Amino acid sequence: MKITVSVIKADIGGFVGHSSTHPEVVAKVKEYAEAGCEKGLLLDASVITCGDDIAIVMTHTKGKDNEEVHKLAWDAFVAGTEVAKKLKLYGAGQDLLADAFSGNVKGMGPGVAEMEFEERKSEPIIVFFADKTSPSAWNLPLYEMFADPMNTAGLVIDPSMHDGFSFEVMDVYSGKVVKLETPRELYDLLVFIGATSRYVVRAVYRNRDGEIAAAASTQKLSLMAGRYVGKDDPVLIVRAQSGFPAVGEVLEPFARPWLVEGWMRGSHTGPLMPVSFKEAKPTRFDGPPRVIAAGYQICEGKLIGPNDLFDDPAFDDARNRCAILANQLRRQGIFEPHRLPPEEMEYTTLPKVLEKLKDRFVDVGEPEAKAPGSGEGEIAE
Ligand code: 13P
Ligand code: 13P
Ligand code: MG
Ligand code: MG
């Protein structure tokens, strides 16, 4: 059976501040998801949370970008927002940028990751869900899962993975997409996806047969709204086993923490901490950024799960390292590189402060530096 997995997520109000969700809001979203199953639109649905964000994991046979499925998620988030407003939760309706639904939630605030495939004999998938970060947080782990044989032994050992995977990369500023094939174009891929402020991995395909392997949300709220409205807190769907990385290979990148953008006011760098569902509550300096891994076996379109995959003492070391990195970064306070560089601060509230001070700058006769990319000062051949 050909099925579609759609994961649509939004922050519709935090409890308390931006730290977590309120049970009444989650219950309202679940009510809509269940109604979608009852009326036959969905095969199944599962509602998960990470920090102040809620994701609806849905299975159906309607394909990607289906208006009815997107509308169901939108309506669920609108209804949840009403509850959040009633309780005066923080930032109620934060991610719902549009006044009314218009065909597809893309561009309206919520984050979306979708994939369509023929259900295999056994179909394990993992939905990763992060808070206090942005879509490019998946660039590094996706590279390791699908292109690094030091992480994924199957790339070397399993003949069905040996041809490698292709990455679809989006330039979030132009909206253009490029597909790069690994291992052949690995270094080209890394030129782009190492630049996390601009390039985001959107999807991964298996070279052998073009099968979809992973799909991520790429929505950048600030670029949609043109101002700071909270971070994009992304989702990622990954298929595992039988020609895809094993579940353990998919989880392995998270055992060694790395730094992502999005901590405190969306303006700071912090380590991405892999946590159990219960611990997905970023409180210290509104963080550090968190990620959960919800595992499902899909059975005739039904979501068997979720299984809380980071609820494992084997990830304690990663969590401790995150705490140590968090201390080190906090030492920098408001100084870079804990604070994000100026280009990334453009969509925060900082420009308002700069605006107030701009007339205080006076010319003291120093030559003006040439802007990067102007050609001046480049190394001669
Ligand atoms: P406000 O308190 O003005 O909302 O800003 C702080 C914050 O939490 C940023 O999202
Ligand atoms: P969210 O993007 O999760 O709402 O967090 C906002 C923030 O800036 C917290 O400090
Ligand atoms: Mg929030
Ligand atoms: Mg959030």
**DSSP E strands: which ranges in 138-254?**
165-171, 177-181, 199-206, 212-216, 235-239
User: Is the Cβ–Cβ distance between 48 and 125 less than 8 Å?
Assistant: no
By three-state DSSP, how is residue 205 classified?
Answer: strand
User: Is the Cβ–Cβ distance between 329 and 262 less than 8 Å?
Assistant: no
Average pLDDT over residues 188-215: 97
Per-residue model confidence (pLDDT) at position 373: 55
pLDDT band at 342 (very low <50, low <70, confident <90, very high): confident
What digits encode the pLDDT tens for the residues 124-144? Answer: 999 999 999 999 999 999 999
Distance CA 63, CA 57 (A): 14
Per-residue model confidence (pLDDT) at position 235: 98
**Is residue 149 scored above 80 in pLDDT?**
yes
Phi, psi dihedrals of residue 2, rounded to the nearest 5°: -85, 120
Phi, psi dihedrals of residue 306, rounded to the nearest 5°: -85, 150
- Is there an atom of ligand 2 within 6 Å of 234 CB? no
What digits encode the pLDDT tens for the residues 28-66? Answer: 999 999 999 999 999 999 999 999 999 999 999 999 999
Average pLDDT, the chain: 94
**pTM for the full model?**
0.95
Q: For a substitution probing ligand 2, which of 52, 97, 260, 272 has the most ligand atoms within 8 Å of its CB?
A: 52
pLDDT band at 113 (very low <50, low <70, confident <90, very high): very high
Tokens of 164: 């490698």
Average pLDDT over residues 180-204: 97
**Is residue 195 scored above 90 in pLDDT?**
yes
**Is residue 374 scored above 80 in pLDDT?**
no
By three-state DSSP, how is residue 317 classified?
Answer: helix
**Is residue 225 scored above 90 in pLDDT?**
no
- Gyration radius of the chain over CA positions: 21
User: Is the Cβ–Cβ distance between 218 and 7 less than 8 Å?
Assistant: no
By three-state DSSP, how is residue 268 classified?
Answer: strand
Higher pLDDT, 213 or 351: 213
What digits encode the pLDDT tens for the residues 289-310? Answer: 999 999 999 999 999 999 999 9
Buried b / exposed e across 197-208, counting CB within 10 Å, b at 16+?
eebbbbbbbbbe
- Is there an atom of ligand 2 within 6 Å of 220 CB? no
**Is residue 371 scored above 70 in pLDDT?**
no
* Minimal-distance CA residue to ligand 1 atom 1: 265
Intra-chain end-to-end CA distance of the chain, in Å: 58
Per-residue model confidence (pLDDT) at position 372: 63
Pairing of strands 111-118, 123-131: unpaired
By three-state DSSP, how is residue 94 classified?
Answer: coil
Tokens of 283: 């409180």
Residues carrying an active site annotation: 11, 228, 231
By three-state DSSP, how is residue 217 classified?
Answer: coil
Buried b / exposed e across 349-377, counting CB within 10 Å, b at 16+?
ebeeeeeeeeeeeeeeeeeeeeeeeeeee
Who contacts 369 (Cβ-Cβ below 8 Å, separation ≥6)?
none
User: Is the Cβ–Cβ distance between 270 and 329 less than 8 Å?
Assistant: yes
Phi, psi dihedrals of residue 287, rounded to the nearest 5°: -165, -140
* Minimal-distance CA residue to ligand 2 atom 4: 230
Average pLDDT over residues 205-232: 86
Listed residue (171, 193, 196) closest to 182, CA to CA: 193
Listed residue (261, 146, 152, 269) closest to 208, CA to CA: 146
pLDDT band at 367 (very low <50, low <70, confident <90, very high): confident
Listed residue (179, 197, 189) closest to 134, CA to CA: 197
User: Is the Cβ–Cβ distance between 136 and 170 less than 8 Å?
Assistant: no
* Minimal-distance CA residue to ligand 1 atom 6: 265
Using CB atoms within 10 A of its CB, is residue 115 exposed (0-12), middle (13-18) or buried (19+)?
buried
Average pLDDT over residues 234-255: 98
Tokens of 105: 């939630």
- Is there an atom of ligand 1 within 6 Å of 18 CB? yes
Q: Range with the lowest mean pLDDT among 92-101, 200-209, 269-278?
A: 92-101
Distance CA 14, CA 209 (A): 43
Tokens of 112: 């979306």
Query: Counting atoms of ligand 1 from 1, which one is nearest the CA of 91?
Result: 4
- Is there an atom of ligand 1 within 6 Å of 257 CB? no
